[in-house]
Every structure is written in C-alpha cells, then in structure tokens.
Amino acid sequence: MNDEVEHRLSSAGLELATVQKRAFAFFIDELILAFLFLFIIYDQIAAVSDPDAIVALINTFTFEYLLIKILYQTLFVYYYGATLGKILVKIQVVDAVTMQRPIFGSALNRGVFRIISEMIFYLGFIWAFYSKNRQSWHDKTARTLVVNV
C-alpha cells in the first residue's frame, strides 16, 4: 500500500477489506442477480422443456443480464456505497481520494469495468490479490477502494 493511500485510510479510520470478504460479497451478489434474472424470465423458461432450449433461451438474454448487472452495481454503489453482498459482509466502496461514497460516474465506470473483468477470465479480480491496495481493475479505473465498515 502506498503511503498516501495508507495515510488517507488511517485519517478516515478505515482499513482495506480482505480479498476473502470481497470474494464472499461477489458470490452473494452473483446469487442475488441470478435469482432475480431467473425470476424475470421464469415464464419463458417454464414454457420450454428441453435443457438445450433453456440454455438457448437464457443466451438470448445475455445483453439484458449484463445490463441488469451494471445497473445493480452502479446504483447500489452510488446510493449506498455497497451492493447487497458487500452490505452483508460489512464492506463498502469508497473513492480513493475523498474516502466517501463514489460519485455516479465512478460507480458507473466500476460497474462497466467489472463486467469487462469477468469477460476476460476474471483477471481483473485476480489482480486484487497482487495489488498493493487490493484493487481490482474496476477499482483502479474508477479510483476506488473497498474497505471494512
């Protein structure tokens, strides 16, 4: 961790969240989003009986699912500083400079780059294991940190 970030964190009385907590929050968020998505398209899935047809049906909604994920991440981080998964594990996202909730542009940037990190074999998430400030790609591009509450 660089000295400047460490100083800002200690001045605000904050400490970085562990990668394990972040991973658990990610898992919770993915479960919530999957159930929400399945709830939204349940009628269409129920009308299909063949497993291959169900997979094909779900694949037709890829864009919509990605949009739901971006909106979920953006709006929760902007309004609450955390998604439901982060709230449950008691971590939150803060701006790396102000140590406050991110502005809308940063929250949107973070939501979009989170999807990009997922699309590239989750390399953006793995990056957090080796980053000084435990920042994933979406944290770096949005200039955010994830801290304990």
56-101: per-residue pLDDT in tens? 999 999 999 999 999 999 999 999 999 999 999 999 999 999 999 9
Full residue range of the structural domain in which residue 107 is found: 3-148
Cβ-contact 128, 136 below 8 angstroms:
yes
Give the confidence band of 49 by pLDDT, cuts at 50, 70, 90.
confident
Q: Count CA atoms closer than 13 A to 134's CA, side-chain side.
A: 16
Total domains in the chain come to 1
Beta bridge partners of 2: none
Which residue is listed with tokens 């460490």? 6
Average the pLDDT over 105-118 and give the result. 97
Q: Tell me which of 1-10, 78-87, 103-112 is least confident.
A: 1-10
Give the confidence band of 2 by pLDDT, cuts at 50, 70, 90.
confident
Residue 24: the pLDDT is 97
Give dist(CA 130, CA 138) in Å, integer.
Answer: 14
Please name which of 72, 77, 84, 82 lies closest in space to residue 28, comparing C-alpha atoms. Answer: 84
Give the confidence band of 138 by pLDDT, cuts at 50, 70, 90.
very high
Q: For a pLDDT cut of 70, what percent of the chain falls above it?
A: 99
Give dist(CA 129, CA 125) in Å, integer.
Answer: 8
Give dist(CA 20, CA 66) in Å, integer.
Answer: 24
Give the confidence band of 1 by pLDDT, cuts at 50, 70, 90.
low
